[in-house]
Amino acid sequence: MRLGVSPLISMVILIAVIFGIAAFIAPWMYTTVTTITNETTSTTDTELQCQNTAYDFDTNYATFGVDWNFTGSDDSLSAKVINTGNVNLYNFSFELELNRTIGNPRIEYLEVNGTTQRTPMNPLKPGQSVILEAAMYGDLDGTLTKLKIINPVCPRFFVEQEF
């Protein structure tokens, strides 16, 4: 006499186990695929939009488009930029490289003050220019050797000027 599970019953059990595992994996896979698809779409849209991003210093303003004074206690920094691309730009910020008399060069990040900052509701449109003024909170020591203006719309695209 032979004891065991018939091939038909073992096949039914095997199929039930497979469907049970699939019931746990399917929602996870759906969520993962949806997330990756949305991220890829968003990244692609941003990359396509950023291909048309371009802005530069308006060299008719001050020294190569930048005016600064880091002597005394009333430091100031402003730069005039012009949007030469096809994308609205906003939320600019400054990255400064300062050469100090002692030690290595120092990098400082400054926000643009609220009166000259461009926003999503009031962006720097293609063909327009604006003078951006830094929000100064303290005394900067050193000599300005490089200025970079960054915007979060397309962070890989920035303008940079060395002095």
| Domain residue limits, the chain | 1-50, 55-162
Give the Cα separation of 10 and 17 in Å (integer). Answer: 11
Kindly report the CATH number that applies to the domain delimited by 55-162.
2.60.40
As beta bridge partners, residue 106 has 98
Nearest in space to 126 (alpha carbons), one of 59, 52, 48, 58 = 52
| Farthest-apart Cα atoms in the chain, separation | 104
| More confident of the two residues 108 and 4 | 108
Token pair recorded at residue 87: 């994308």
Q: In what order do the strands lie in the sheet with 106-111?
A: 106-111, 93-99, 143-150, 158-162
Q: Are 91 and 124 in contact (CB under 8 A)?
A: no
Give the Cα separation of 132 and 124 in Å (integer). Answer: 11
Give the Cα separation of 11 and 105 in Å (integer). Answer: 72
DSSP structural state of residue 70: -
Residue 117 has pLDDT above 60, yes or no: yes
Token pair recorded at residue 160: 């940079």
pLDDT (tens digit per residue) in 28-86: 888 887 777 767 665 666 566 688 889 999 999 999 999 999 887 788 999 999 999 99
Please report the pLDDT score of residue 142 as a whole number: 80
Residue 136 has pLDDT above 90, yes or no: no
Give the Cα separation of 85 and 55 in Å (integer). Answer: 6
pTM for the complete prediction? 0.70
Residue 131 has pLDDT above 80, yes or no: yes
Residue 27 has pLDDT above 80, yes or no: yes
Q: What is the average pLDDT score of the chain? A: 86
Please report the pLDDT score of residue 40 as a whole number: 65
> Which whole number is the average pLDDT over 111-130?
95
Please report the pLDDT score of residue 4 as a whole number: 65
Nearest in space to 145 (alpha carbons), one of 101, 113, 111, 112 = 101
